[in-house]
Amino acid sequence: EPEVTQTPSHQVTQMGQEVILRCVPISNHLYFYWYRQILGQKVEFLVSFYNNEISEKSEIFDDQFSVERPDGSNFTLKIRSTKLEDSAMYFCASRWTQNHEQYFGPGTRLTVT
């Protein structure tokens, strides 16, 4: 069964460094998402992406965040200058159309020291 994959599973970085989190959505899906979950808290929507552009973003998704679909398979989340409070699980999700279910990846645990 096809699934969303994410790499790395765990990333440790120093405050102020740039990180890129990578996702490979399910191959025929058209809508892509990033979410984050701070330890012990609920999952929060960051951004949705369709037709090579951001379709919606939350207030969390400020200028230090960016997303890109550099080729036909990868979907990346870049954090330009990480802060301690960026430490969280970051989940990628994808779906075929707006009427279909979202499938989540296993997540990348980001630790900023």
C-alpha–C-alpha distance, residues 103 and 2, integer Å = 10
Interacting residue with other proteins among 22, 66, 69, 104 (CB under 8 A) = 104
Binding mask 25-54 for other proteins (x = CB under 8 A): ------x-x-------xxxxx--x------
CB 48 → other proteins: shortest distance, Å? 4
User: Taking CB under 8 A as the rule, does residue 105 contact other proteins?
Assistant: yes
Tell me which stretch binds other proteins (CB under 8 A): 13-21, 68-76, 78-86, 105-113: 105-113
User: Taking CB under 8 A as the rule, does residue 102 contact other proteins?
Assistant: yes
Taking CB under 8 A as the criterion, which residues in 73-92 touch other proteins? 89, 91
SS3 call for 86: helix
CB 14 → other proteins: shortest distance, Å? 23
Nearer to other proteins, 18 or 56 (CB): 56
User: Taking CB under 8 A as the rule, does residue 96 contact other proteins?
Assistant: no
Extract the tokens encoding 23. Answer: 């996702």
111 within 8 A of 13, measured Cβ to Cβ: yes
C-alpha–C-alpha distance, residues 72 and 25, integer Å = 10
59: part of which helix (H) or strand (E)?
A: none
End-to-end Cα distance, the chain: 37
C-alpha–C-alpha distance, residues 71 and 67, integer Å = 12
